[in-house]
Chains A and B, each alone.
Chain A
Amino acid sequence: MSAEPISGADIVIKALVDQGVDVVFGYPGGAVLPIYDALFKQNALRHILVRHEQGAVHAAEGYARSTGRVGVVLVTSGPGATNAVTGLTDALMDSVPIVCLTGQVPTHLIGNDAFQEADTTGITRPCTKHNYLVKDVRDLSRMIHEAFYVAKSGRPGPVVIDLPKDVLFALGPYSHPEDARHKSYRPQVIPDQARVAQAVEMITAAKKPLFYGGGGLINSGAEACAGFTEVVRRTDAPCTLTLMGLGAFPAADPHFLGMVGMHGTYEANMAMHDCDLLIAVGARFDDRVTGRLNAFSPGSKKIHIDIDPSSINKNVRVDLPIVGDVGQVMAAMLETSPRAGAGLDRSEWWRHIEEWRAQDCLRYDRSCRGVIKPQYAIERLYALTRGHDVYVTTEVGQHQMWAAQFFKFDKPHHWMTSGGLGTMGYGLPAAIGVQIAHPEALVVDIAGEASILMNIQEMSTVAQYRLPVKLFILNNQYMGMVRQWQELLHGGRYSESYTAALPDFVKLAEAFGANGRRIENPAEMDDAISWMLKTPGAVILDVAVDPKENCFPMIPSGAAHNEMLLGPKDEAEQPVSEEGMVLV
Chain B
Amino acid sequence: MNGLERHTIAVLVDNEPGILARVVGLFSGRGYNIESLTVAEVDRRNSLSRITIVTSGTRMIIEQIKAQLQRLVPVHKVLDLTDEGPFVEREMMLIKVEGKGDVRIEALRLADIFRARVVDSTIESFVFELTGSAEKLNAFIALMEPLGLVEISRTGAVAISRGTTSL
The interface of chain A, by Cβ under 8 A from chain B, is 121-122, 125-126, 129-131, 133, 150, 182-185, 308-310, 312-314, 317
Q: List 21 A-B contacts (CB under 8 A).
A: A121-B18, A122-B21, A125-B21, A125-B22, A126-B25, A126-B29, A129-B73, A131-B18, A133-B18, A150-B73, A184-B75, A185-B73, A308-B71, A309-B71, A310-B64, A310-B67, A310-B68, A310-B70, A313-B64, A314-B64, A314-B67
Question: A125-B21, A125-B22, A125-B25 are known contacts. Are A184 and B64 too (CB-CB below 8 A)?
Answer: no
Specify the chain B residue showing the minimal Cβ separation from A155.
B71
Return chain B residues, CB-CB under 8 Å to A310: 64, 67-68, 70-71
CB distance from B126 to the nearest CB of A (A): 40
Return chain B residues, CB-CB under 8 Å to A309: 67, 70-71
The yes or no answer to B63 lying at the interface (CB within 8 A) is yes
The yes or no answer to B31 lying at the interface (CB within 8 A) is no
CB distance from B32 to the nearest CB of A (A): 12
Q: Are A130 and B17 touching (Cβ within 8 A)?
A: no
> In the complex, which of the residues B14, B17, B63, B71 contacts A183, with contact meaning CB atoms closer than 8 Å?
B14
Return chain B residues, CB-CB under 8 Å to A122: 18, 21
Q: How many angstroms between the C-alpha atoms of A313 and B63 in the bound complex?
A: 8
Return chain A residues, CB-CB under 8 Å to B67: 309-310, 312, 314
Interfacial residues of chain B within 66-100, with CB under 8 A of chain A in the complex: 67-68, 70-76
CB distance from A356 to the nearest CB of B (A): 32
Q: Are A317 and B60 touching (Cβ within 8 A)?
A: yes
Q: How many angstroms between the C-alpha atoms of A131 and B25 in the bound complex?
A: 14
Question: A125-B21, A125-B22 are known contacts. Are A313 and B60 too (CB-CB below 8 A)?
Answer: yes
Return chain A residues, CB-CB under 8 Å to B68: 310
Q: Compute the total of residue contacts between A and B using a CB distance below 8 Å.
A: 42
CB distance from A202 to the nearest CB of B (A): 22
Return chain A residues, CB-CB under 8 Å to B74: 130, 184
Q: Are A130 and B71 touching (Cβ within 8 A)?
A: no
Q: How many angstroms between the C-alpha atoms of A131 and B74 in the bound complex?
A: 10
Q: Are A184 and B76 touching (Cβ within 8 A)?
A: yes
Specify the chain B residue showing the minimal Cβ separation from A186.
B76
CB distance from B149 to the nearest CB of A (A): 37
Encoded as 1 (CB less than 8 Å from any A CB) or 0, chain B from 18 to 34 comes to 10011001000100000
List the 9 shortest-distance A-B pairs measured between CB atoms, nearest first. Answer: A310-B67, A130-B73, A184-B76, A309-B67, A185-B73, A310-B68, A310-B71, A126-B29, A126-B25
Q: How many angstroms between the C-alpha atoms of A96 and B71 in the bound complex?
A: 16
Interfacial residues of chain B within 1-50, with CB under 8 A of chain A in the complex: 14, 17-18, 21-22, 25, 29
Return chain A residues, CB-CB under 8 Å to B64: 310, 313-314
Return chain A residues, CB-CB under 8 Å to B18: 121-122, 125, 131, 133
Specify the chain A residue showing the minimal Cβ separation from B74.
A184
CB distance from A324 to the nearest CB of B (A): 15
CB distance from A373 to the nearest CB of B (A): 42
Return chain A residues, CB-CB under 8 Å to B70: 309-310
Specify the chain A residue showing the minimal Cβ separation from B71.
A310
Q: How many angstroms between the C-alpha atoms of A380 and B71 in the bound complex?
A: 44
CB distance from B136 to the nearest CB of A (A): 35
Q: How many angstroms between the C-alpha atoms of A532 and B72 in the bound complex?
A: 47
Q: A130-B72, A183-B76, A310-B70 are in contact. List 20 more A-B contacts (CB 8 A).
A: A121-B18, A122-B21, A125-B21, A125-B25, A126-B29, A129-B73, A130-B74, A150-B73, A182-B73, A184-B75, A185-B73, A308-B71, A309-B67, A309-B71, A310-B67, A310-B68, A310-B71, A313-B60, A313-B63, A313-B64
Return chain A residues, CB-CB under 8 Å to B75: 184
Specify the chain A residue showing the minimal Cβ separation from B76.
A184
CB distance from A190 to the nearest CB of B (A): 17
Q: How many angstroms between the C-alpha atoms of A6 and B67 in the bound complex?
A: 41
CB distance from A205 to the nearest CB of B (A): 26
Specify the chain B residue showing the minimal Cβ separation from A323.
B67
CB distance from B48 to the nearest CB of A (A): 9
Q: How many angstroms between the C-alpha atoms of A308 and B71 in the bound complex?
A: 8
Q: How many angstroms between the C-alpha atoms of A209 and B13 in the bound complex?
A: 42
Return chain A residues, CB-CB under 8 Å to B76: 183-184
Q: How many angstroms between the C-alpha atoms of A183 and B47 in the bound complex?
A: 11
Return chain A residues, CB-CB under 8 Å to B73: 129-130, 150, 182, 184-185
Q: How many angstroms between the C-alpha atoms of A348 and B17 in the bound complex?
A: 59
Return chain B residues, CB-CB under 8 Å to A313: 60, 63-64
Return chain B residues, CB-CB under 8 Å to A184: 14, 73-76
Return chain A residues, CB-CB under 8 Å to B60: 313, 317
Q: How many angstroms between the C-alpha atoms of A182 and B18 in the bound complex?
A: 18
Q: How many angstroms between the C-alpha atoms of A314 and B76 in the bound complex?
A: 22
Q: How many angstroms between the C-alpha atoms of A190 and B70 in the bound complex?
A: 17
Q: How many angstroms between the C-alpha atoms of A314 and B30 in the bound complex?
A: 12
Q: How many angstroms between the C-alpha atoms of A129 and B73 in the bound complex?
A: 8
Most chain B CB within 10 A, of A133, A150, A312, A314, is at: A314
CB distance from A187 to the nearest CB of B (A): 9
CB distance from B53 to the nearest CB of A (A): 16
Specify the chain B residue showing the minimal Cβ separation from A312.
B67
CB distance from B113 to the nearest CB of A (A): 46
Q: How many angstroms between the C-alpha atoms of A255 and B123 in the bound complex?
A: 85
